Amino acid sequence: MNLVLNSPIHQVIDEEEIIVFPKRNFIEANTVQVDLDHLKSECIIPVFAKDNESTISHYEFIESTKEVVEEILDYKGVLKPEIRVSHQIKGRIPSAVGKPAKELLEHEKTLYYERMAFVIEVPEISEIINGNKLNLTIGGVRSYNQENLFSKKSIEKFKVFIGFQNTVCTNLCISTDGLKQDIRVSSVLELKAKIYELINSYDKKKHLQQMNEMSCFSITEPEFAHLIGKMKLYSFLDKETKANLFNLNINDNQINSIIKDYHLDPNFARFENGNINLWRLYNLFTEAAKSAYIDTNFEKNVNAYEFINYLANSIKNDKSNWFLHNYNHSI
C-alpha cells in the first residue's frame, strides 16, 4: 500500500500564514450545484426499462465513496461533498399526463440529472506544493448517457479519482494512477471495493514529488508562443502524424483560456520577464479544464498532468519534442 491516509502526513501551517481565497467551483461548463439531500429526496432513480431494476443512484455513489473515505481515514468529522450536475431530465407523474407544463404542481414533476460530478475534500490532510496549499480530495463522475437504460439491468460505469485540490483556485490535481475512468460494477458493494482499490494503489508520494518538481523548469515567452502555436496545430494533424506525438486532449477554447490566463491570472500568470514555470503552466491547464463537460473533465485534468510532465522530462533531459522543438531550456 503506497498511501497510508490515517497517518499524520498533513502539513501544519501557522494560522497567521493562512490566506483565505473566495470559494470557486471545481468544474464550470454547463453545471449547477446541488446538495446531497436534493439528490436523495427530490430526484427519481432511473431504472433499466426492460426489467425495472434500479440503477445505482447518484446519491448512493456519493454516499458509498464517503463511507469508504471515512473508514480508511477513521474520520470523525463531517465530510461535505461538493456536487455539480448537468443535463436535467424532467418528467411527470401519471396523473399529470396531458396537463400543460405551466400548470404542473411541484409534486407532479419528476426529475433526475443525466450527469453528475462530485468531490470530497479532506482539509485535515494537506501539503504545501510550490507555495500553494493542496488538500487531499476524492471524487467521481456518473453519466447515465453511457448506460443503455432501455435494456435489462447490466454492468454500470463510473469514474473515481483521488488526488489533491489547490486551495488557491480549486483546480484539481489528478495523477495518472489517481484516476479509474472505466469502473464497471453491478452493485454498491462492488463499487465500494473498486474505490478501496483505487485509494490503496494511489502513489501519493510520487504524485506530490512530480508536482513539486514542476516549478524547477521554466519556458520563455517565445517558447510559450511556440508551444501554443503547436497546440493549436495539433488538432488539425492527420491521424498518422498524431500517432507519433503526445496525445494532447485539449480544444481551442481551452487553449485560448490558457493564453488569456498566461497574462492575467492573479496567481499563475507569467513572471515579469515573460517566463513561466511549469507549475504555473500546469495550473493554467487545469483551470482551462474546468470548462470541459462532466463526462470528460477528469480525463482532461489527467492529460494536463501527463503533458506537463512530458514537457518537464524534455527540458530535464535537454531533449527536443514536437511541441517545444529545439529551444535552449532553462532549469
Helices 221-234/252-264 angle, 10° precision: 170
All 3 cell numbers of residue 227?
508551444
Q: Is the pLDDT of residue 75 over 90?
A: no
Quote the pLDDT of residue 76. 83
Q: How many CA atoms does the CB half-sphere of 239 hold within 13 Å?
A: 0
Distance CA 155, CA 28 (A): 29
In angstroms, the CA 177 to CA 3 distance is 12
Which DSSP state fits 218? E
**85 DSSP β-pair partners:** 32, 116
All three cell numbers of 203, joined, read: 502513489
Q: What is the predicted pLDDT for the residue at 12?
A: 36
Distances (CA, A) of 324 to 228, 229, 306: 10, 10, 15
Strand, coil or helix: 98: coil
Digit-coded pLDDT (tens) for 79-107: 999 999 999 999 888 888 888 888 888 88
Pick 330 or 307 by higher pLDDT. 307
Torsion of CA 174, 177, 179, 182, to 10 degrees: 160
Count of residues for the chain?
331
Q: What's the rounded Cα separation, in Å, for the pair 131 and 264? A: 19
What pLDDT does 178 receive? Answer: 96
23 — pLDDT class (breaks 50, 70, 90): low
Query: Of the given ranges (19-33, 167-181, 218-232, 244-258), which has the lowest mean pLDDT?
Result: 19-33
pLDDT tens digits, 277-320: 999 999 999 999 999 989 899 999 999 999 999 999 999 998 88
Q: What is the 3-state secondary structure (H, E, C) of 142-192?
A: EEHHHCCCCCCCCCEEEEEEEEEEECCCCCEECCHHHEEEEEEECCHHHHH
pLDDT class of 258 with cuts at 50, 70, 90: very high
- Cell numbers standing for residue 11: 502539513
> Which phi and psi (to 5°) does residue 157 adopt?
-110, 140
* Band (15; pLDDT cuts 50, 70, 90): very low
pTM reported for the whole predicted model: 0.87
Q: What pLDDT digit, counting tens, does each position of 128-184 carry? A: 999 999 999 999 999 999 888 889 999 999 999 999 999 999 999 999 999 999 999
Q: What is the mean pLDDT of residues 185-206?
A: 96
State the pLDDT confidence band at 33, using cuts at 50, 70 and 90: very high
Contacts of 327 (CB under 8 A, 6+ apart): 219, 220, 222, 223, 226, 320
Task: Quote the cell numbers at residue 290.
Answer: 474546468
- pLDDT bracket for residue 13 (50, 70, 90): very low
Q: Is the pLDDT assigned to residue 325 strictly greater than 80?
A: no
Give pLDDT, residue 5: 46
pLDDT of residue 320: 83
Q: Which residue has the cell 447515465?
A: 144
What is the rounded CA–CA span in Å between residue 219 and residue 311?
A: 10
Higher pLDDT, 6 or 115: 115
